[in-house]
Structure 1
């Protein structure tokens, strides 16, 4: 079954070369996957750099589509959703962060887990769980912040989730289209709203423990974005209520 895999990018031309070619080579091997880079309004100079990089890679990798260049910055969620709107008849929509923190081998593993379902019915959210058999390398302060945020999400929204923010997610297209019109958060907390909307619509969501490695150069501000994400969780609670009471 075909899949659209979106790679949202904001000023990522300096980092994406360490990840995208390897990703495309593996997606070509698996077949039936279209990789779409969505450049999230980084400005003319940055978009020109990204376009030049992708032009060369598109000659090498059949899966790599012509990039979607957004005229203005919509936020990570906005970039992902703009890409997913191009899914056509694909059975799955997915996204992976451009920095390569989620290794290509893990992207491949989740793609194959999704395909093993046959008819898509369960969304797969990668989760950075430190457990036997999984390798998670993360700065302590980010790990602690992530645990606090996950607890906030779990308690305020009634979702027993360990990690809502890992940048690798696969969603049945039909399930996404069912909730797409109600999604309002386009920033970093879009994952949480998507999770709540999917669960409330009746779509199952499975957290899949994966390997993950911290990559320098991230755009998330630990203070500014944490406060904003907490406000977003409060707004989700106010607008949608808890998943379980």
Structure 2
């Protein structure tokens, strides 16, 4: 086993131990929580090693990095998540390889994704990225739709050809009432998910929690965790 593969295996084992402990602490089954490894800034070779170690869900946030990486890994049994802010001019590319787009935050993006998915003959699973620090309108910075516009956007995704509404995603806010309170933020997302499922019963995914706050996310009911640094190490700076 290569040194890098051993390093990744050890890191994965530690993350799994954390998830196991977090689930046990709140009486959840480990099978209720899916680990997505965020491979942004790391090479396709690392993705291949992760696949050999049993990882099946990976995430990227920049199309210019993700597209060639996904192309280099087409022989692997992987589910690709796009988790970054998505510009409409990148949609056609993203729709060609992503299985899940977790960062849907505006109607224009819904329309563009639908057109691209139909053109590619694919169906894309979509999560609405919720900006819990936004009071109204679409948020800036990290992106996301304001809580009071989730229902409207959810309906648009559900009605769009080539798209499937699968749930909600958020990033723990750095400002606003939830700053420094990731569990409270994730519990709010879970409440919103419960409300969303009244009209859209299949929108069951709750994507929340990263390397630093995965325990809080599990406690709050997250179904999917997006973990990068704890598995791959401190990220190299982008050029």
Give the TM interval when normalised to the shorter protein: under 0.3
TM-score by length of 1: 0.27
The structure showing larger relative contact order (alpha-carbon pairs under 8 Å, at least 6 residues apart) is: 1
